[in-house]
Structure 1
Amino acid sequence: MVYLFVGLAGTLGAILRYAIGITFFTHSTFPFTTLFINLIGSFLLAWLTTNLFKRISVSPLLVSAIGTGFVGSFTTFSTLSVETVTLLKDGELLLGIIYIFVSIFGGLLMSRIGFKVSGEAGKS
């Protein structure tokens, strides 16, 4: 049963990701869509797993569906990789480096903010 819920939530995450991309970032050479979505996803997963899922009673099935299914399909590392290689191939070395730097350190920062907002920062 967990596979069905993860798959359904994954479908919703993928659709939302696509909708954001075609709505807000359609005419840019820089991969703003993936960057934005991965940063938001990093925050969202950290916040959900340390705040919402601990404050309200959520079944493990729903936790898997939302975390692995929805957020997992909403964010993507493979797209980040391909877009970075494309930037480098197109001679955009500086943009490629900026993209990787902001994606990695921005994702870590957004996760940290998600933890901090939930009150879990600094706890072991």
Structure 2
Amino acid sequence: MPVPHPDGPEALHSPDAPVADPPRPAPWHGQAPVIAVVAIGGGIGATARYGASLLWPVGTAGFPWTTFWVNVVGCFVIGLFMVLITERWAVHRLVRPFFGTGVLGGFTTFSTYAVDIQRLMEQGRPATALAYLAATLLAALAAVWLAATTARLTLRTGPTHTQRTGPTPTRQTGPTETREKGKRSS
């Protein structure tokens, strides 16, 4: 009698057959739109920051005011934006990565901030470098706090997200339950 091939159809039904792991989706599967909007937003934000550096250039020996204000303004806007989209308005799922990560991530700059500090140190201006480091950190955090607090206080009197979109849905009762607590129908 012929012996069945171990990889044949019989092997699929054998309890001793090895079980393969289910296929996993690719790590980037479904993320293309998010990646695209972050890239587009980042380009817009970086272009705006570059425009600011052209409008308000800083000389080689000057204080990096442009980078300072770009970072502070960017932090203020992110504080405002996060309150609006998390506590007030329902937005499309791509708005947050586009504007928050992309535009504001491209507009604000940690790398230029670090290079500015290094440049000030190399120029023999450590006190200015440390003042810039501390001032940017404190001003950026204060800007986020101020924007978020102001937004919450300003928007407190208007309708909230749930009021604007209608009442919260109630739990649906099943076929064996009634809305009265503790009573079951048969």
TM-score, with structure 1 as normaliser = 0.89
- Residue 85 of structure 1 aligns with which residue? 118
**Alignment check: 8 A CA contact 1:25 1:33 kept:** yes
Q: What is the SS of the residue equivalent to 2:91?
A: coil
Percent of matched pairs sharing the same residue: 27
Over aligned residues, Cα RMSD in angstroms?
Answer: 1.6
Q: Which residue of 2 aligns with 1:31?
A: 64
Partner residue, 2:183: none
With a CA cutoff of 8 Å and minimum separation of 6, indicate the structure with the bigger relative contact order: 1
Cα deviation, 1:42-92, whole Å, max 9, x if unaligned, reads 111111011255433311211111000000010011111111011011011
Q: Select the structure that is richer in helix.
A: 1
Deviation at 1:26, TM superposition (A): 4.3
Q: Which residue of 2 aligns with 1:8?
A: 40
Q: Which runs of 5+ in 2 are unaligned?
A: 1-32, 154-186
Instruction: Give the letter aligned to residue 68 of structure 1.
Output: T
Residue 24 of structure 1: how far off its partner (Å): 2.1
The letter of the residue matching 1:19 is G
State the alpha-carbon separation in 2 of the partners of residues 24 and 79 from structure 1.
15
Which residue does the alignment assign to 1:45? 78
Structure with greater Cα Rg: 2
**Total equivalences in the alignment:** 120
CA distance, structure 2, for counterparts of residue 102 and residue 45 of structure 1: 18
* Partner AA of 2:152 in structure 1: G
Q: Which runs of 4+ in 1 moved over 4 A?
A: none
User: In 2, distance between residues paired with 1:88 and 1:18?
Assistant: 24
Match of 1:107 in 2: 140
CA distance in 1, matches of 2:86, 2:45: 18
**What is the CA–CA distance in structure 2 between the aligned matches of 1:35 and 1:110, rounded to whole Å?**
12
List runs of 5+ in structure 1 lacking aligned partners.
none
Aligned residue for 1:112, secondary structure, equals: helix
Contact 1:46 1:112 in 2 (8 A): yes
Give SS of 2:75's match.
Answer: helix
Closer/same/farther in 2, CA of residues 23 and 53 from structure 1, 3 Å limit: farther
Distance 1:11 1:54 in 2: 27
TM-score between both structures, scaled by the size of structure 2: 0.61
Which amino acid in the other structure matches residue 115 of structure 1?
A
